[in-house]
Each structure stands twice: as structure tokens, then as C-alpha cells.
Amino acid sequence: MKVLKSLSILFLGTLVVACSTNPFTGKQTLALVPNSQILPMAFQQYQEFLTEHKVVTNTANARMVKNVGQKIAAAAERYLNANGYAGYLSDYRWEYNLIDSPEVNAWCMPGGKIVVYTGILPITKDEAGLAAVMGHEVAHALANHGQQRMSAGQLQQLGAVAGNIALANNPENAQIFNTAYGLGSNLGVMLPFSRSHETEADHIGLILMAIAGYEPSVAAELWQRMQAQEQGTPPEFLSTHPSSSTRIQNIQAWVPEAKAEARKFGVTSFKR
Ligand SMILES: [Zn+2]
């Protein structure tokens, strides 16, 4: 019993000091549950999600999701390799699936497991619009925002079960995980992270879509369409969502920077 107690104290101590650097901002962020534990859990939850939902295959849209996803993933790898973070994505197992659902939603779990819902396609409208959404969601995953969305208690609970992957048999933990990574929104719209994380994901996502060869100013147009669609969504969603006009202004101001980053990789034309 005593041994168990000191082991758990040791474990909590490890939780508190674990830190990782956000490769895009250089900021230290807490990584309370390490990738070695979070990724197997993410992969398991992703597989489960796919078996419980209708995956669209062999349509033009399904192919577009895979194609754009591959380009965004390649952009992330090029950017990280060039900025001293080679190997940052070595444990990623990229996957891109389109799900048949009216929800206006998309998310990326840590490890590069992406889902786009058919309900968001009328708003993304075209390939460049989809690249804006996927760039944004991948940015959340790269910057490790999901974990930072969890409370300390939730992290401890997850960290405690992660080692033996009891997650699938524990609905409460699955709930924590899914909420943190944007699954299972009951509002029928994309679940926002905190304002600062949303802004960070917009910035990183813009750079990724530009390196992938897409016109970054399309992201501003996308969020304008999103704003129009959000009329009529519940106030609880709007109260936590970053103001769309600020977001659009930010994105427009970052477009030259995103293009300058892309040019470093020889990308000089941007598809819209
Ligand atoms: Zn977001």
C-alpha cells in the first residue's frame, strides 16, 4: 500500500513537470500525458469512431478530403523539418476520412487522425476552403491544444488509464477524450477551443495551407461563410467562440506572412 502511494505521488510529480515546446510558437506548453500514452488512445478512439459512423468512400468529396489532407500533412512535415523539429511527427499515423453526417464539423486527433463531416462541405465550398479547415484542425493537434483543454483532474484520470488502454471499456474516459478533441458536439457545429488556441490554430493553419499550395486569403472567406451559418446556433456556443470579425481581420493581416513562409519552400502559386 505504501509503495502504491509513493508510486502515485511519483506519477503525479511526473505529470506536473512534463512540458513540451510548441514548434510553431516556441512557447512551452504543458504536455501532461505524453504522446507515448495519448497516441495509442487516440488511434483506438479513432478506429472506434469510424466503426460507429458512416465513412464515405469512393466519391469525389472523399478523394478530395484525402488529397487535401495529404497535402496539409506534407506541409506540416516540411515546415517542422525546416525549423529544427525533424522527427516531431514520427509517431503520427496520418489518416483522413469523410463521414456522412449533417454536422458542421471537422477535427484532428493527436497523431494525425482527421475526420471531416459532409455537413461542413457546403461551407468549405471548394478545395482551398477545405484546406483552410483541415489546416486549422491539424494546427490544433500539432500545438497539443486538446490536452490543454482538459482540466488537471481529467488529465490525471486519463493519464492513469492510458498506460493499460482501458479507455474503450470506460465511457467516462472516452467522454473526456472525445470532448477534448472536438468529437461528439451536441450543438451540431465545430466545437471551439479557447480564444487564444483558436487564434493560434488560425495562424499555424494559414501557414500550412499556404505551404500546401492554397491561397491563404480563402481562409478569411471561409470564416465569413461560417459566421453566416452560425446565425441561429445556441448562445452557449457563441459565447465561447472567438468573434468572427476579429478572426477574419487577423487572418487577412497574416496572409502576406503565410505566403512568405510558403515561398521559402518554393511555393509561388496559390490555388483558390
Ligand atoms: Zn479551432
- How many angstroms separate the alpha carbon of residue 5 from the centre of ligand 1? 39
The per-residue pLDDT for 29 is 66
Whether the CB-CB separation of 161 and 167 falls below 8 Å is answered with yes
Whether the CB-CB separation of 182 and 213 falls below 8 Å is answered with no
Single out the residue of 118, 104, 95, 85 nearest to residue 42, CA to CA.
Answer: 95
User: Which letter does DSSP use for residue 192 in this model?
Assistant: P
Report which residue type is found at 39. L
The per-residue pLDDT for 221 is 95
Q: State how far the Cα of 104 lies from the Cα of 119, in Å rounded to an integer.
A: 5
The per-residue pLDDT for 234 is 61
Whether the CB-CB separation of 211 and 78 falls below 8 Å is answered with yes
CA atoms within 13 A on the CB side of 78: 20
Whether the CB-CB separation of 93 and 29 falls below 8 Å is answered with no
The per-residue pLDDT for 267 is 98
Whether 137 is catalytic is: yes
Helix %, strand %, coil % of the chain (to 5): 60, 10, 30
Which candidate in 77, 95, 127, 137 is catalytic?
137
The total of other beta-carbon atoms located within 10 Å of residue 59's CB is 12
Give the total residue count for the chain. Answer: 272
Residue 223 phi/psi, 5° resolution?
Answer: -70, -25
- How many angstroms separate the alpha carbon of residue 200 from the centre of ligand 1? 9
Whether the CB-CB separation of 19 and 69 falls below 8 Å is answered with no
Is the alpha carbon torsion for 118, 190, 174, 69 positive or negative?
Answer: positive
- How many angstroms separate the alpha carbon of residue 114 from the centre of ligand 1? 13
Residues of the chain with pLDDT under 70: 1-20, 29-32, 159-170, 184-191, 232-243
Scanning the structure block, which residue is given the C-alpha cell 456556443?
237
The total of other beta-carbon atoms located within 10 Å of residue 18's CB is 13
pTM: 0.85
- How many angstroms separate the alpha carbon of residue 178 from the centre of ligand 1? 15
For residue 116, what are the β-bridge partners?
A: 98, 106
- How many angstroms separate the alpha carbon of residue 263 from the centre of ligand 1? 26
The per-residue pLDDT for 118 is 96
Helix, strand, or coil (residue 45): helix
Q: State how far the Cα of 14 lies from the Cα of 67, in Å rounded to an integer.
A: 40
The per-residue pLDDT for 160 is 64
The H helix count followed by the E strand count for the chain is 12, 6
